[in-house]
Chains A and B, each alone.
Chain A
Amino acid sequence: MLLKYLGKFQYLSIAALMLIANPIKADWFALNMTRGITDISNEVFELHMLIFWICVAIGVVVFAVMFYSMYAHTKKKNPVAATFHENTKVEIAWTIIPFLILIAMAIPASKTLVKIYDDEAGDVNIQVTGYQWKWQYNYLEDDISFFANLSTDADEIYNLVPKGENYLQEVDEMVLIPVGKKIRFLITANDVIHSWWMPDFAIKQDAIPGFVNTAWTKVDVPGIYRGKCTELCGKNHGFMPIVVKAVEQDEYDQWVSEKKNVAMKLAELTTKEWTTQELVDRGEDVYALNCVACHQTNGQGISGIFPALAGSDIVLNNKEKNIEILMEGVQGAAMNSFSYLSEVELAAVITYTRQEWGNAENGDGEIVIPKDIVDYKQPKI
């Protein structure tokens, strides 16, 4: 009961803190599991509270006896100890009673579990792919695909500017889902194991390279829901959040058609004439999203793990190998294939790395245009 009350106080405390405009949203009342907003998450919460209260009850009884004994059976009060050291009846009782309590716990738990394990196709099927260190979402029916990156500024992380309200819980592109529909997530990974956790839906599924796990949800309340990666996946494990926005069907449909338009426009860009500067500008953004975590802003990489791009022979003088590495990745190393990026993005980011950090001056300075990538993708004879 107490915890339910605390849940109510939580809103009061947030309101109070907003009034005094504290830049950091202090939260002494963030004590319990979220109830979430789906039927399943509510059931999981009730289950959690049920087990919690059973444990509290057992604890009270057991510790009461222990503390009583520590108080009343000290050497001062009880100079001569009793001599009993076994009692078959009592011992059988305290073996069987816990067993019965466990059965009482196992029944509702098993029922909820069976409900969660429903892997029929959903109304909307979204493939979720974990990458070091971002999430990719593919809407299987609508052919929409995009990445969601952390959008918190590095200056906030390094304490140079005040932290925003959604510090580390915000992304550059939210996953939209329609309310009232069964959404099925097909979860996998491209490099190491990640785990897609959305507490409000009570979904946590590991994203495993080479395998597809499924999870489903049905959200009835429109809103923005925030989750996180929960399997250690390398240095930026703490910096790849998940944000899902549940919207009404109309808004969802509109978003889908907009996304499709954007995709078409991007395809048109492939055939455009590009200047070096245009490619470098665009490439800088692509680099910041995809490459900087390992190869660093200064292109120096991290000694011993991530090779430097500045002054690298391939980046300086070997355009073909440069394209091949981005398209195929490097076997046995952390460098994966980036062939999922668009032709424009790939050409731009390769050009950027070949122009930056003095690479243009030290090497052949050749640029890569989207057509080079298209040509690379042609079946080889």
Chain B
Amino acid sequence: MSAVIENHHEDHHHGPAKGLTRWLYTTNHKDIGTLYLWFSFAMFLIGGAMAMVIRAELFQPGMQIVEPEFYNQMITLHGLIMIFGGVMPAFVGLANWLVPMMIGAPDMALPRMNNLSFWILPFAFFILLSSLFMEGGAPNFGWTFYAPLSTTYAPPSVTFFIFSVHIMGASSIMGAINVVVTIMNMRAPGVGLMKMPLFVWSWLITAYLLIAVMPVLAGAVTMMLMDIHFGTSFFNAAGGGDPVLFQHIFWFFGHPEVYIMILPAFGIVSHIIETFSRKQLFGYSSMVWAMLSIAILSFVVWAHHMFTVGLPLAAELFFMWATMLIAVPTGVKVFNWIATMFRGSITFETPMLFACAFVVLFTLGGFSGLMLAITPADFQYHDTYFVVAHFHYVLVPGAIFSIMAAVYYWIPKWCGNMYDERLGKLHFWLSFIGVNVTFFPQHFIGLAGMPRRYPDYALQFADWNMVSTVGAFLFGVSQLLFLFIVVKTVMGGKKATDQVWEGARGLEWTVASPAPYHTFTTPPKID
């Protein structure tokens, strides 16, 4: 510890460098967090623009704007960009900013790797997006890239897609290792595991999930690469392989991936509800155990994405029961949040509005998830818009609302200025209405029988598709308002206090606003 204290007088040498090199060479967790957040926002807008193309085409039956071939490229890139470029880097950005400050550490444990794990990401997405301009077009096989559509029948750009996924995977693994090492080794004295803020806990679990499953994804795409270029037949039945093997591998990655995108949201929402209810979080330890149970269960439910591939009865039963079981810890979390609000002293600033919407709409997504777990009923739901409605409910008002809530909640700490509360609330209501008008009708469209990934549809689905498109454009445009609010807050505004929020707890609120470039070079004292 003495080394840390000796460094103290050198602080003034360590302000941020000037110009572009500050961002290129930075090993500062706050700078890297900022990079991740801006990058994810850019990807969110690109992926969102693709969603607008999709919804515009679906506004009416018939082909109007794009050809089916290009439509398939849009759905594929929309999914990949939103998941790997939007949601995941946003959470990594939040982890970078917050985890060290929450555990009283001066920085991430592996700062140079931190720089590397960010700076390879833009290249991954440059490669992926450049495939749009290649002969044969971008990947067109859906974000789930089922073989053999993604191998034998894929456009040549699939090879670029594979390398791009490899780079994204490497970035995620490095980011995850960094989080684990930081949390395990750099907690200030007195911050025991069961005293860690829930966001830290959620990221610790998420990081383990990432380390466990990203190599599996890398394996899947490498097997594709071998099938395409080196004459193997992993997924080619004619050569003795099995296309269903691909799906098993993919979803063994894919299901934990789903929780990678929601566990940090659980952490964020727990903090925000606690703060704006001005009441200690209800059931802290059960929250931790619930997250652990969800993470462990996530490894034994993958085949519920594959109920129609012809699994044996025993497998169908097992995966149905295991999937239903996830409702228990998830329910515990929802009950805990509500119990935290109960008899609290609640105010509804923008972060709290997003958090409340999260609880309600994520729960709706949970209900449709429970319905989807029921195998016989899934035979009707599978691969319809009901599924699209389900996962967008858990990902948009779930993961993405939590990210927006986090930005509103912590941005005063990041840049020292309060955001414009009136605009924030306007952004919330526009987003809330937009998201529901977009995705709620998709339940109807799906139940009535419209399959997903259809560029055109039968006439009975016309009305609700039109409504959904109107909602999508409302939601899309509202995000430009979000961009405006964030830029306005960074540029200036009412100065934030160090405490920022009356009910906020945690070490990050004990440092100045904006947080100095280096925080906790001397470990804080924890009671």
**Which A residues fall within an 8 A CB radius of B?**
24-28, 30-34, 43-44, 47-48, 51-52, 55, 58-59, 62-63, 65-66, 69-70, 73-75, 78-87, 90-91, 94-95, 98-99, 102, 105-106, 109-110, 112-114, 116-117, 132, 156-159, 163, 165-169, 191-193, 195, 197, 199, 202-206, 208-211, 213-214, 228-239, 302-305, 332-334
Tell me, yes or no, whether B384 is within 8 Å of chain A by CB. Answer: yes
In the complex, which of the residues B244, B332, B343, B346 contacts A95, with contact meaning CB atoms closer than 8 Å?
B332
In the complex, which of the residues A81, A233, A239 contacts B278, with contact meaning CB atoms closer than 8 Å?
A81
Distance between B463 CB and nearest chain A CB, rounded to angstroms = 5
CB <8 Å contact, A85 and B376: no
Please name 18 pairs of A and B residues whose Cβ atoms are closer than 8 Å in the assembled complex, sorted by A.
A25-B460, A27-B463, A43-B376, A48-B371, A69-B344, A70-B346, A81-B279, A98-B328, A114-B313, A167-B458, A168-B458, A192-B146, A199-B449, A202-B380, A213-B310, A231-B383, A235-B67, A235-B72
Contact code string B101-145 (vs A, CB < 8 Å = 1, else 0)? 000000000000000000000000000000000111100111000
A114 and chain B: residue at smallest CB distance: B313
Counting from the closest, the 7 A-B pairs by CB-CB distance are A210-B237, A304-B136, A304-B135, A213-B310, A30-B448, A238-B454, A82-B343
CB <8 Å contact, B137 and A304: yes
Given contacts A204-B380, A235-B69, 7 further A-B contacts (CB under 8 A): A66-B338, A73-B342, A80-B345, A98-B328, A105-B370, A199-B380, A204-B379
**Which B residues fall within an 8 A CB radius of A?**
61-64, 67-69, 72, 134-137, 140-142, 146, 148-149, 152-153, 155-156, 237-238, 242-244, 277-286, 308-310, 313, 316-317, 320-321, 324-325, 327-328, 331-332, 334-335, 338-348, 356, 359-360, 363-364, 367, 370-371, 374-377, 379-384, 444-445, 447-449, 451-464
In angstroms, Cα B339 to Cα A73, docked, is 12
CB <8 Å contact, B328 and A32: no
CB <8 Å contact, B327 and A63: no
Chain A residues within 8 Å of B383, by CB: 195, 197, 204, 230-231
CB <8 Å contact, A304 and B449: no
In angstroms, Cα B455 to Cα A28, docked, is 20
Distance between A27 CB and nearest chain B CB, rounded to angstroms = 4
CB <8 Å contact, B243 and A106: no
In the complex, which of the residues A73, A75, A113, A158 contacts B317, with contact meaning CB atoms closer than 8 Å?
A113
In the complex, which of the residues A25, A80, A98 contacts B331, with contact meaning CB atoms closer than 8 Å?
A98
Chain B residues within 8 Å of A213, by CB: 309-310
Distance between B10 CB and nearest chain A CB, rounded to angstroms = 42
CB <8 Å contact, B382 and A85: no
Chain A residues within 8 Å of B153, by CB: 132, 191-192, 234, 334
Chain A residues within 8 Å of B281, by CB: 85
Chain B residues within 8 Å of A70, by CB: 341, 346, 348, 356
Distance between A367 CB and nearest chain B CB, rounded to angstroms = 31
In the complex, which of the residues B141, B280, B316, B347 contacts A83, with contact meaning CB atoms closer than 8 Å?
B280
Chain A residues within 8 Å of B376, by CB: 43-44, 47, 109, 112-113, 116, 202
Whether A209 contacts B148 in the complex (CB less than 8 A), given A24-B459, A199-B449, A238-B455, comes out as yes
CB <8 Å contact, B343 and A73: yes
Whether A34 contacts B449 in the complex (CB less than 8 A), given A86-B282, A113-B317, comes out as yes
Whether A232 contacts B344 in the complex (CB less than 8 A), given A66-B359, A85-B283, A238-B455, comes out as no
CB <8 Å contact, A82 and B136: no
CB <8 Å contact, B453 and A193: no
Distance between A99 CB and nearest chain B CB, rounded to angstroms = 6
Chain B residues within 8 Å of A33, by CB: 377, 380-381, 447-448
Distance between A240 CB and nearest chain B CB, rounded to angstroms = 11
B466 and chain A: residue at smallest CB distance: A26
Chain B residues within 8 Å of A159, by CB: 62-64
Chain B residues within 8 Å of A210, by CB: 237-238, 242-243
In angstroms, Cα B459 to Cα A157, docked, is 11
Q: How many A-B residue pairs have CB under 8 A?
A: 308
CB <8 Å contact, B243 and A237: no
In angstroms, Cα B371 to Cα A43, docked, is 15
CB <8 Å contact, B456 and A83: no
Chain A residues within 8 Å of B447, by CB: 31-33
CB <8 Å contact, B243 and A73: no
Distance between A232 CB and nearest chain B CB, rounded to angstroms = 5
In the complex, which of the residues A73, A81, A305 contacts B136, with contact meaning CB atoms closer than 8 Å?
A305
In the complex, which of the residues A51, A59, A132, A234 contacts B363, with contact meaning CB atoms closer than 8 Å?
A59
Chain A residues within 8 Å of B62, by CB: 156-159, 163
Chain A residues within 8 Å of B327, by CB: 98, 102
A55 and chain B: residue at smallest CB distance: B367
In the complex, which of the residues A85, A156, A195, A236 contacts B282, with contact meaning CB atoms closer than 8 Å?
A85
B317 and chain A: residue at smallest CB distance: A110
In angstroms, Cα B338 to Cα A65, docked, is 7
In angstroms, Cα B142 to Cα A211, docked, is 22
CB <8 Å contact, A26 and B463: yes
CB <8 Å contact, B448 and A236: no
CB <8 Å contact, A109 and B374: yes
Chain B residues within 8 Å of A332, by CB: 152
Whether A157 contacts B449 in the complex (CB less than 8 A), given A66-B360, A85-B282, comes out as no
In the complex, which of the residues B278, B335, B338, B377 contacts A44, with contact meaning CB atoms closer than 8 Å?
B377
Distance between B120 CB and nearest chain A CB, rounded to angstroms = 28
Chain A residues within 8 Å of B452, by CB: 230
In the complex, which of the residues B136, B149, B345, B356 contacts A74, with contact meaning CB atoms closer than 8 Å?
B345
In angstroms, Cα B374 to Cα A213, docked, is 20
In the complex, which of the residues A59, A81, A209 contacts B345, with contact meaning CB atoms closer than 8 Å?
A81
B280 and chain A: residue at smallest CB distance: A85
CB <8 Å contact, A208 and B367: no
A31 and chain B: residue at smallest CB distance: B444
B68 and chain A: residue at smallest CB distance: A235
Chain B residues within 8 Å of A95, by CB: 328, 331-332
B314 and chain A: residue at smallest CB distance: A117
CB <8 Å contact, A59 and B367: yes
In the complex, which of the residues A78, A110, A191 contacts B320, with contact meaning CB atoms closer than 8 Å?
A110
CB <8 Å contact, B444 and A91: no
Chain A residues within 8 Å of B279, by CB: 81-83, 85
CB <8 Å contact, B453 and A232: yes
CB <8 Å contact, B377 and A191: no
Distance between A168 CB and nearest chain B CB, rounded to angstroms = 5
CB <8 Å contact, A232 and B286: no
In the complex, which of the residues A85, A99, A169, A214 contacts B458, with contact meaning CB atoms closer than 8 Å?
A169
Chain B residues within 8 Å of A51, by CB: 370-371, 374, 377
CB <8 Å contact, B155 and A232: no
